[in-house]
Structure 1
Amino acid sequence: MIRLALRETLTAARRAPLLTALAVITIAFSLYAFGLFGLVALNIRQAIRAVEERVEVRAFLRDSTSIYAVDSAMAAIGKYPEVARVEYVSQENALDRARSEMGEFTDVFDQAVLPASIEVHMRAGLRSPQTVAAVAKRIGSFSIVDDVRYGEEWVGKLYRLRTIASFVGIALGLAFAAVAVIIIGATIRMTVLARAKEIAVMRVVGATDAFVRRPFLIDGIIKGILGGILALVMTWATHRAVNEYFFQTVFFDERLMLVGLLAGAFIGVAGSMVSVGRQLRRI
């Protein structure tokens, strides 16, 4: 049955190569737009993730705190499930950092004494404002801690940005997918209309709607996959051009590329189902 449907699909492609090529190219460009959006969303997510990795709680220590008290506090903080790692920054290291980061104000730090601190780096996925604030509050309860800073306002803005980016990404992704389904449906509809007489004859001799529909569904899958491959190539070429002439970006990994091809097949069959169902009722 599947072999017959494949043969029907190939026969239809040979009968109307221009229409088939037009359908594949149209699908490719619709998926290309979807791929470009996905690439932008991926790079925005990577940028946000890179910034999120800098989320930390910094506990400034009281003067004359013994190293044993520091080690004990660091061991306790390191056991928190939200904490990835803990780092001690001595007064000398803090001064060196300040000088390297603000070299133009080196003279200001010549006689400065900066407090030692404990830097607490949060685990991925546990960097929400509520989680960071809770960890900061627990750390502030240690007797050796004089002050705790974690950029409350900055962490809140970062979390809101990530939430907005995720929401916009899902909304635009669904919109692009819907447009692709409509375009694919239109191309399949042209194929159905071109074979209207043949379909009418098949129904006269007893062919069921499922039998008539099957080649078009397979046709949609094949065109979706071919369009997906072409869209992937165009997206990769755009990625290379941006890297060469503008700035560095990351590309989809193998898993995401496979998801893209499967999405092309799914969109192809979805467009075919919508279009064929409507046209069969009219023939």
Structure 2
Amino acid sequence: MSVLSKAAYFWRSAAGGLKHAPFVHFIAVSTIAIALFAAGLARGASHVVDNLLASLGGEVEVTLYLAPQLGEDEVHGVHTRVVELSHGEVTVVPPEAALKRLKQELGDLGEALSELPENPLPATLELRVPEARRSPAALAALAKELRALPGVTGVDYGEAAVERLSAIARALSFGALVALVVVLGTTIVIVAATLQLAIYSRREEIEIQKLVGATDRFVKAPFLLEGLLQGLLGALVAVGGLWLFGRLLGPTLGSLFAFLLGPGVAAPWVETRTALELLAAGCALGLGGSFVAVGRFLRV
């Protein structure tokens, strides 16, 4: 029997197995589709959350309060030193500009500041930290270095907010990983169980094949292909569901996130790379379940 003949036989046998027990395979395909659809939604939501954290993290600025007695040249010297230490964008805010900004932020109440005998606000430096140094540990180390500079009386960078954002990101990543492991494990078990039922329904055919000298690989191959087809069909259903989800609810969600964080935050729910990854994952799930099934049931 040639290689092409064997391959054709295996694919016909696998397709016939799907037709022989449609309800059993429908359960397996539906399980894979639901798992991959949930994984695709989680992937899209994770992307949006990452953009959210990056956007919020980008708004965190380090403010340095300078001593009132510093002259213009000394302020320029501190500015230069801060740029060298942080490699970020530093803006000098004179006391007059700080007071004017405060008046605008207070609105009608800001007029009361005009009655002050002198400007109580010091000159400040506003530092926009590079993305690579926005982690809590890096910001804390940078703030320690900045506080040690001559002429700097205080440093504020919203430490509590940065740590809270970092904790949220870690919790989301850990939760997504645990959920993924549980869902994938459960899916493989269900696929293996349904395929075992299909194998059991064809036990007489398997016994005849073994009696006439069929090898272990020859007996296993059609069932492995059945699992592969199950995974492929489930992945196609999941990709179609994500595409439909993006068409129906994507514009609404995109408008919501654009309102909160600006345009470009919400990404398409089904990208080419995501679709290919889901197809590969579906095939892997189907093959994994079929390997478990033939290994436990056939014992060949």
TM-score bracket for the superposition, by shorter chain length: 0.7 to 0.9
Deviation of 1:96 after TM superposition, in Å, equals 5.0
In structure 1, the residue matched to 2:131 is: 124
Normalization by structure 1: what TM-score? Answer: 0.82
Equivalent residue letter for 2:233: L
The residue correspondences of 1:142-161 to structure 2 (distance < 5 A) are: 142-161=149-168
Q: Which moved more, 1:118-127 or 1:194-203?
A: 118-127
CA deviation string 1:160-216 (max 9, x = no partner): 222222211211121121122222223322332232222222222222333322232
**Residues in 1 aligned to 2:88 and 2:274: alpha-carbon distance in whole angstroms:** 28
1:205 maps to which of 212, 234, 245: 212
In structure 2, the residue matched to 1:232 is: 239
Deviation of 1:135 after TM superposition, in Å, equals 0.2
Equivalent residue letter for 1:31: L
**Residues in 2 aligned to 1:144 and 1:21: alpha-carbon distance in whole angstroms:** 72
Equivalent residue letter for 1:161: I
CA deviation string 1:72-129 (max 9, x = no partner): 433433344x644333334454345445544464334546744332222333353232
Deviation of 1:33 after TM superposition, in Å, equals 2.7
Deviation of 1:255 after TM superposition, in Å, equals 3.1
- For structure 1, the 5+ residue unaligned runs are none
Describe the SS at the equivalent of 2:239. helix
Q: Which moved more, 1:2-11 or 1:256-265?
A: 2-11
Equivalent residue letter for 2:282: G
**Residues in 1 aligned to 2:204 and 2:112: alpha-carbon distance in whole angstroms:** 88
Identical-pair percentage: 29
In structure 2, the residue matched to 1:24 is: 29
The residue correspondences of 1:1-283 to structure 2 (distance < 5 A) are: 1=3, 3-4=7-8, 5-17=10-22, 19-63=24-68, 65-80=70-85, 83-103=87-107, 105-110=109-114, 113=119, 114-244=121-251, 247-248=256-257, 249-252=266-269, 253-281=271-299
Equivalent residue letter for 1:141: A
Q: Is the 8 A contact 1:30 1:183 kept in 2?
A: no
Describe the SS at the equivalent of 1:143. coil
Equivalent residue letter for 2:287: V
Q: Does the C-alpha gap of structure 1 residues 201 and 162 become closer, same or farther in structure 2, counting only changes over 3 Å?
A: same
**Residues in 2 aligned to 1:206 and 1:227: alpha-carbon distance in whole angstroms:** 34
**Residues in 1 aligned to 2:101 and 2:274: alpha-carbon distance in whole angstroms:** 40
CA deviation string 1:131-183 (max 9, x = no partner): 11110111122223221111222222222222222211211121121122222
Normalization by structure 2: what TM-score? Answer: 0.78
**Residues in 1 aligned to 2:99 and 2:7: alpha-carbon distance in whole angstroms:** 74
